[in-house]
Every structure is written in C-alpha cells, then in structure tokens.
Amino acid sequence: MRMNSLLKFGVISFLVVLFSSSKSIIGNNEESKEPTTVEYVDLEKYVGLWYEIAKIPNRFQRKCVGNTTAFYSFREDGRIDVVNRCSREEGDPIEAKGIAKVLDTKSNAKLKVSFVRFLGFSLFWGDYWILGLGEEYDYAIVGTPNRKYGWILSRQPSVSPDRLKQIFALLRDQGYNPADFEMTVHSSISEQKQSQIVE
C-alpha cells in the first residue's frame, strides 16, 4: 500500500515538473519571438518630416531634451537620407545624418540605418523595423528585433490621448512595455521655422 502511494506521488511529481518545464519553455519561446512588422510600407508616403512623440531612452540620444524630429528623403541610389534633429539642454540644436537601406523589398518594413561613414563607406548598421503605421501615415511605431529600442513618431508634434492609448496597445501586442517609453517634449515651432529645418 505504501509503495503504491509513493509510486503515485512520484508520478504526480514528475508530471508537475514536466508541465512546469514545458510551460516555462513555451513562455520563453513566446518572449523570444521577434515583433511583427506591418505588411507593407509605401515609402513615397513614408518619407518626409516626423516628430518623435516618445522613445525608449538610449545612449545616442542622451543629449536630447526635446524637439526631436526625423526627416527622410530619397537618394539617387535608391537609399534614404536620414536627418535626425533635437534640442540640447543649452537650447542649441544638434543633428545626426545617416543613410537607410531597405532589407525586405516585399514589405519595405525592415530597414537598416547607419550614422557612421568612413572613407565613403557606411558602417555599424542598426535595425529599423516599422511595427505600426497609421492608415493615413499620420503615425508610426519603430522598433528593433530585440525590443531594446523603440520610437513613436507622428506627423504632428503631439497625438491625442485616444491615439496614444491605441499606440500603447499595439506596443503591448508587440511585446513592448509602454512604461519603458519616455515622452518627448516639443516647444511651439512656427511653420516657417519648420520649413527651414526641412530645407
């Protein structure tokens, strides 16, 4: 009788451990899944001026305190020129110029960006995946496969609370934590100044 009880206990314990291990493995696999990009990006609509609404803080934007924008334009070689601008604490603007290339030409949603050039060559390419995009290309969610970096972009310096709530829901679905994002401050900039920035 005692042997049967021990046998049953052993079988149950084994099943519990097996189930827990399987659940852990499944969970880890789910966490390791890469985020999903949008099905297709019309680059003709995507280029132009974008305002940064929020970002996951990163070392290469540590000097930026606000007014962060990105301007994309086509190059003759088919790649995309990238000009990122922001304001420093001292008030003066800083900018970083780079080049983007499309990796997945079927969707145009996976790109690589480089801000380092040496002897005419672009070095240290980083991922730029478009994970969310408004139907009117009024907002975009940009991230990386490892979710270490993330940005919320908009055609306007601000978005409505409802839109932001929708974007945060999309980020959660993509495995991001919205709490990791830091909102970007934009001071009022006239249309005239903005046109000068783009030119």
Report percent pLDDT > 90 for the chain: 69
72 near 50, Cβ under 8 Å? yes
- Both 144 and 86 in a single domain? yes
* 142 located within any domain: yes
Q: What average pLDDT does range 167-192 have in this prediction?
A: 87
- Both 51 and 126 in a single domain? yes
Q: What Å distances lie between residue 77 and 37, 74, 102, 109, 163, CA to CA?
A: 25, 8, 12, 19, 36
Check whether 88 has a pLDDT greater than 60: yes
> CATH no. for residue 48?
2.40.128.20
User: What pLDDT sits at residue 90?
Assistant: 87
- Both 72 and 160 in a single domain? yes
* 38 located within any domain: no
Q: Which residue matches tokens 């603007």?
A: 93
- Both 139 and 177 in a single domain? yes
98 near 25, Cβ under 8 Å? no
User: What pLDDT sits at residue 195?
Assistant: 38
In the numeric block, which tokens belong to residue 70?
Answer: 């990105």
pLDDT tens for residues 133-178? 999 999 999 999 999 999 999 999 999 999 999 999 999 999 999 9
- Both 67 and 145 in a single domain? yes
* 9 located within any domain: yes
Angle at 80 between CA 74 and CA 84, to 5 degrees: 110
* 192 located within any domain: yes
* 177 located within any domain: yes
Among 6-10, 69-73, 176-180, where is mean pLDDT lowest? 6-10
Check whether 97 has a pLDDT greater than 60: yes
Distance CA 161, CA 141 (A): 16
User: What pLDDT sits at residue 32?
Assistant: 63
Q: What average pLDDT does range 35-43 have in this prediction?
A: 98
- Both 72 and 19 in a single domain? no
Domain count, the chain: 2
- Both 9 and 102 in a single domain? no
Instruction: Give pTM, 2 decimals.
Output: 0.78
- Both 156 and 188 in a single domain? yes
b/e per residue, 93-122, with b = 16+ CB within 10 A? eeeeebbbbbeeeeebbbbbbbbeeeeeeb
* 97 located within any domain: yes
- Both 76 and 53 in a single domain? yes
- Both 177 and 137 in a single domain? yes
- Both 69 and 157 in a single domain? yes
Comparing 40 with 3, the larger pLDDT belongs to 40
Domain containing 17 equals: 1-33
68 near 51, Cβ under 8 Å? yes
Give the helix/strand (H/E) hosting 52: strand 48-55
